[in-house]
Amino acid sequence: MNALLAKCFPAKYTEMVISKHNTCFGMCPHHLLPVIYRISMAYIPTEKVLGLSKLSRLARLMSRAPRLQEDLTHELADILHQDLASQGSAVYIEGLHMCMAARGVGAHEARLVTSGVRGVFLELATREEFIKLVVAPPTTLV
């Protein structure tokens, strides 16, 4: 992970950097069944910005191991805030848990939503801007 976070560049700006709707796959630690995550992450840089693909790679790397979605959310927020020395970070995850969809409860459309914020994202206006930008449906670019 340190090598992944080492791919940084000098920050010229201090506006929000967002990587949204990253599809990742994980495993429920209780039932050992798959979880499909849609992960959106943001941070506000101080001195450095992470290489473009590194946010997606970080999400995929962290989501692989069996872990609670709540833990994944807060671990990603901590990494983006502490390891990048950012002004703040925010993570929003929607998870489709096969332990709910395929087992007795049969919640085929139910999604677990978790969020974690650090630093300046604790301020309501910054948090609302992030949520507004990531909850909007994905746009078609081509």
Average pLDDT for the chain = 91
User: Which residue, among 83, 107, 87, has the nearest Cα to 97 in the 3D structure?
Assistant: 107
- The correct CATH number of 2-135 out of 1.10.760.10, 3.30.1130.10, 3.40.50.300, 1.20.950.20 is 3.30.1130.10
* pLDDT tens digits, 93-134: 999 999 887 776 666 778 899 999 999 999 999 999 999 999
Q: pLDDT-based confidence at 137, cuts 50/70/90?
A: confident
pLDDT tier at 141 (50, 70, 90 boundaries)?
Answer: low
Do 97 and 112 meet the contact criterion of CB atoms below 8 Å apart? Answer: yes
Q: Looking at 14-18, 30-34, 102-106, 132-136, which range is the least confident one?
A: 102-106
CA distances from 95 to 1, 33, 68, 87 (A): 23, 13, 10, 27
Per DSSP (E only), the strands in the chain are 8-10, 17-27, 34-44, 48-50, 88-97, 112-119
Query: 75 pLDDT exceeds 90?
Result: yes
The pLDDT assigned to 2 comes to 72
Structure-token match 């929000």, residue found: 16
Domain ranges of the chain: 2-135
Instruction: Note the pLDDT of residue 51.
Output: 87
